[in-house]
Amino acid sequence: MKAFAMNGAGNAFILIDARGAAAPLALTPGEIMALAQVHPFDQLLALEADGGADARLRVWNCDGGEVGACGNGARAAAWLMFQDHAQNTLQMASLGGRLSARRLSEGGAEVDLGPARLDWRDIPLARAPDTARMDYAVDLPGGGRLDGPGAVSMGNPHVVFFVDDPDALPLDVIGPGVEHDALFPDRVNAGFARVLAPDLIRLRVWERGAGLTQACGTGAAAALVAACRQGRTGREAVIRADGGDLPVRWTEDGHVHLAGPVELEREIALPDGLGRLSR
């Protein structure tokens, strides 16, 4: 069983390849948070055996909570599996739904994150607004407010505000309030986007359970869908995150496809006694 430090456009991961393990990993929130102190990460990923797919992908945020989806993490996991096999496509099971990936000619991986979920019950929200442009607003420190965001689920919940300058916003101040707002019963990933061109979006994301990260793959997918629904872009754009560019496509069948850079940084040693890993 091996573990690797990886990143996707700066979105930092520890990926545990547990496909040969006899049982699913049993990790406590305390163990995950302790591991994050030794090897800092945004998300912990695990590949496990799955009888109906090439692997099962599991995802935990650095606060120890297991979540349904991680777009850049799915790309990193697919990239790692493509190094082992000559196949050009693969399937991964996940809490957020089935994911498919294809090998790109330049050596990367594009992941089909599945359909964007737009119904308020699927996101989920605590009430039934127009999810394309919600009657929801956030007051800014020092005056001003952000309103009219779009809401999307990409296997995890997202709200996306369109703003004049994402880089000028104090996301460490306003992000936690949005994440924990009662409108979002499962908490929410909060995106702050500016459309620079019909095919280019600048995006910063406050991730639930992880805070401000260099990139968020499902956040990039949600930003494109929200922008397209508000008539700001077409169905394909590059999402410019702090850590790099993420090409996103929202196809006519409703599925959202995510590409972008992946880096394998190093193999790491896991602490003895971590969950069931050493048993």
Give the CA count within 13 Å in the CB-facing half-sphere of 157: 21
What letter would DSSP give residue 128? -
How many whole angstroms separate alpha carbon 206 and alpha carbon 178?
A: 9
Cα distances from 57 to residues 85, 89, 102, 203, in angstroms, run 17, 16, 16, 26
How many whole angstroms separate alpha carbon 268 and alpha carbon 117?
A: 36
* φ and ψ at residue 221, rounded to 5 degrees: -60, -45
Cβ–Cβ under 8 Å, residues 241 and 220: yes
Determine the residue type at 212. Answer: L
State the pairing for strand pair 157-162/200-207: unpaired
Query: Which H or E run contains 152?
Result: strand 150-153
Hey, how many other C-beta atoms are within 10 angstroms of the C-beta on 121?
Answer: 9
> Does the annotation mark 228 as catalytic?
no
Residue among 70, 159, 171, 221 flagged as catalytic? 70
Cβ–Cβ under 8 Å, residues 16 and 46: yes
Residue among 46, 216, 248, 256 flagged as catalytic? 216
Cβ–Cβ under 8 Å, residues 213 and 42: yes
> Does the annotation mark 62 as catalytic?
no
User: Catalytic residue positions?
Assistant: 70, 216
